[in-house]
Structure formats: C-alpha cells, structure tokens
Chains A and B, each alone.
Chain A
Amino acid sequence: MTQDQETEKFLAVGPDHGASPVAGEDPEMSRILRRETHSSRAAASVIAAVLVIVLCVYALLEAGVRAVGQPPWLVDPTTAAERIIALPEGISSLLLGASGAVIAMVGLFFFLQAVLPGRRARHLLRDPRTAVVVDDEVLASALARRARTAANVTQEQVMVVVSRQMVVVNVRPTSGSRVSQEAVLTAVQAELEEMSPVPMPTVRVNLASSGVIGA
C-alpha cells in the first residue's frame, strides 16, 4: 500500500487502532484535509489563462481590423496563414526548432501540472476537534530540537530533513565527545510517536564522521 493510499484510508475511515481520528468527527473535514495536502494548481491556471487571454486579444485585434477593412496591425491573417503553410521555408530551421522546443516545454509544464498528484510537503496530525495540517518544516524543527537535546550539541550541529516517508537526522558531534546514535534515534522516534503524523515516516540518523571543534 502506498503512502497516499494510507492517507486516503485514514481520511475515509479514521485510524483503526482506537486513537482519536485525524479529521475530527466531521466527515466533511476529510475533504478539506485532502485539499489542504494537495496543490490546487491555481498559479499554473492563472498563467495559462493569462496566456490564452493575451493570444485571443491579439487574434481579436487582427480579426477586428480585418473585418472593418483596415490595414493589419502586425500581420494580416491571410499572410500569416500563407507563411505558416510555407513552413519550414522562410525561417531558419534553428530558430524554428528552438521556438518549437520552447513551446513544447511550456506545454509539457502545463501537462505535468495537470497530471501529477501535486502533493504538498505537509503531514496531518490527529486531533479530536480540529483538522490539523502541519508543514514538514515545522515537524523538522521540533524533531531537531529533540535530537539536539538528546545528542547534547548546539543547534548548528543538527539538521533534520522531513519528507513524506522519511525523517533524516544529520548530527555533527562535538570533537572529542561521544554521541550515541541509538540515543538520538530513540529520542526522535519517541517524539515522532507522540506527534503521530499521518503518514508516519521512518527515522534515520546519520552521525558525521568528523566532529566540530570548539562547539
């Protein structure tokens, strides 16, 4: 079962081991939570709509100028059509290929925006009353604090990266003092279990081989 399906299951039926549900008691909230953890594609939509509007306004201008029998603004529609038919003559093939590649790239961007799931770097927390969505960086900074106290190092020596299914804790120990990997791992895992984010990531601790001097 993928992580996404796991989230869907939690949203649909709630957790199966008696803990408080993710979305409160309101089934409507599960829809909201699904929307909050996925991108709405609003930015790409705005870009696409503006692009289409600009193209249409220009075409409208030329068509309107033509309809009232005035001279064209940039290019007469008939001339434009004849030039398009004559392609690839009338333009250097390098320029034609390059502009084609650019247009294809823009199209690919919109296409991928439409097709990819667009998950955001967020986790859900269980709460009996409210629906809670937490950015991964907030989780990471809480876990980093816990790892820092467990390893007894300064803030600069710990870096935590949280992704959907994985928490990576990088610790650079102070030169001359020992840091127990197990202690950091258990501390971070205990904190993570208290939070119980959905989906639950696994923890990995990396101890740097070289220490930090004078920290």
Chain B
Amino acid sequence: MNGTPRALNRVLLFIIGIKLLAVGLLLVLLATVPAVASWWHGWSAGVWTGAENAFRQTRFPGREESWLWIVAGAVLVAIIVAMIAWLSQQGKGRANLLVSSDDDSDVDGEVRIGGGVAEQALRAALAERTDLAGASVATYEFRGRPGLRIRIQPRQGVAPHLLAAEVSQLVEALDLVIGQKTPVLVHMISGARSRFTKAERVR
C-alpha cells in the first residue's frame, strides 16, 4: 500500500524497453541483412550531415566550438534529474501520523496520534503469539489517508482465515482506543524463516 507510481513505472519501462528493443534489432539486422546496411548508410549519413550543418551554424562567435554542446549537456542533466526523481518515488509513502484532526470541543488545537502508537500496540499483541514467526506493523499514507500495514509471518500449517479473524479483533480493539477507523491491510507472508526452520516439503 505504498505510493509507488505504478502507471508511471509502466509507461517509462515501456518507452525504454521499446527503444532498446529497436536498437538491438537494428544492430542484429545490420549484422545479418546487407540490404539493411545499405539503407542505414544512406539514412544515417543524411542525418549526420544535417547535424554537422547545425553545429557549424551555432558556433560561438570567434570560436571553434558550437553552443549546441551546452544545450545537449543541459538536456542530459535534465534527463538525469528526472531519472533520480523517478527513483525517489519508488516505495515512498511512509507516514508518521495516524490521526491529525480538530476535535469538536471549544478548546483550540489539534489532536495528533503518531503511527507509533498503533504500531507498537499491535506489535506487542502479535509478539506473544506462538503461531507467528514474525510480525511487523507500519503506517503508510495512501491517497492522503493514513493506513496500517500489518505484515505477519504464520508458521507452517496455521490456518490463515482463523488468524485473520483474530488479527481483525485486535484491530477493532485498536479502533476503540484511537477512536477512529483506520484502513488496515493484513498481509500474510511466507518468509524464508518459516520455510527453512523445519525440513518440511509442504509448501
């Protein structure tokens, strides 16, 4: 439930993938089909002459170099910054506050409850259970609303629906304490620990 931009990921992967695929196929065709090679010579030579003309017309007054190199550099820097921005979007969305709102009383001010309250309460409640190999709770912000992600690792053979019902009761108790219904995601994972602690072929 993090804020990874999935549509953006797919669009950019599509663009990059198509480009690499086209370049790779062109190289393969150049190596194998002679007709493609002759077409390539004509086409790319034309493009290169055009580019050389552009470079010649954009020289610094009184110097050999073209300012198109500066422009190319600026474009590259822009692409690099965009890529870093894209990288930083992956897996974002951790939140600190579970509740942040005005209450109805006459006193001025805001009620804030940190995500740590719910995280630690749930973690403590889940830590006592013997049918879990591990549990972690994290607060995420999804579309402007805080939500809890409970990730539990049941031991081999634990019935997931009964476990879900009991975790659900814990969450309902938490709702009473906090006084607000928070969206909760329960994710039961089969981590390496529950897979390798016992030599069981059951999967």
Q: Do A and B assemble together? A: yes
Q: Chain A interface (Cβ within 8 Å of chain B)?
A: 24, 26, 28-29, 31-33, 35-36, 38, 40-42, 44-46, 48-53, 56-57, 59-60, 63-64, 66-69, 81-82, 84-88, 93-94, 96-97, 99-115, 125, 127-135, 137-142, 144-145, 148, 155-156, 158-162, 191, 194-196
Q: Which residues in window 30-85 of B have CB below 8 A to A? A: 30-32, 37, 40-41, 44-45, 48, 51, 64-65, 69-70, 72-73, 76-77, 79-80, 83-84
Whether the pair B1, A113 counts as a contact (CB closer than 8 A) is: no
Which chain A residue lies CB-closest to B145? A28
Known A-B contacts A45-B90, A132-B164, A145-B157; A101 and B142 likewise in contact (beta carbons under 8 Å) = no
Which chain A residue lies CB-closest to B162? A194
Does B111 interact with chain A (Cβ within 8 Å)?
no
The interface size of chain B toward A, counting residues with CB under 8 Å, comes to 84
Give the chain A neighbours of B64 by CB distance below 8 A: 69
Q: Which residues in window 1-37 of B have CB below 8 A to A? A: 1-2, 4, 6, 9-14, 16-32, 37
Whether the pair B17, A107 counts as a contact (CB closer than 8 A) is: yes
Q: Which of B17, B91, B190 contacts A141 (CB 8 A)?
A: B190
Known A-B contacts A113-B13, A114-B10, A191-B159; A63 and B203 likewise in contact (beta carbons under 8 Å) = no
Whether the pair A32, B185 counts as a contact (CB closer than 8 A) is: yes
Does B156 interact with chain A (Cβ within 8 Å)?
yes
Whether the pair A130, B84 counts as a contact (CB closer than 8 A) is: no
Give the chain B neighbours of A145 by CB distance below 8 A: 156-157, 202
Give the chain A neighbours of B73 by CB distance below 8 A: 60, 63-64, 67
Q: Nearest-CB distance from B47 to chain A (Å)? A: 9
Q: Which of B10, B22, B190 contacts A107 (CB 8 A)?
A: B22
Most buried by A among B87, B150, B194: B87
Known A-B contacts A87-B30, A135-B189; A125 and B17 likewise in contact (beta carbons under 8 Å) = no
Whether the pair B30, A107 counts as a contact (CB closer than 8 A) is: no
CA distance A210 to B178 in the complex (A): 58
Whether the pair B161, A196 counts as a contact (CB closer than 8 A) is: yes
Known A-B contacts A127-B168, A131-B183, A141-B156; A40 and B6 likewise in contact (beta carbons under 8 Å) = yes
CA distance A141 to B200 in the complex (A): 10
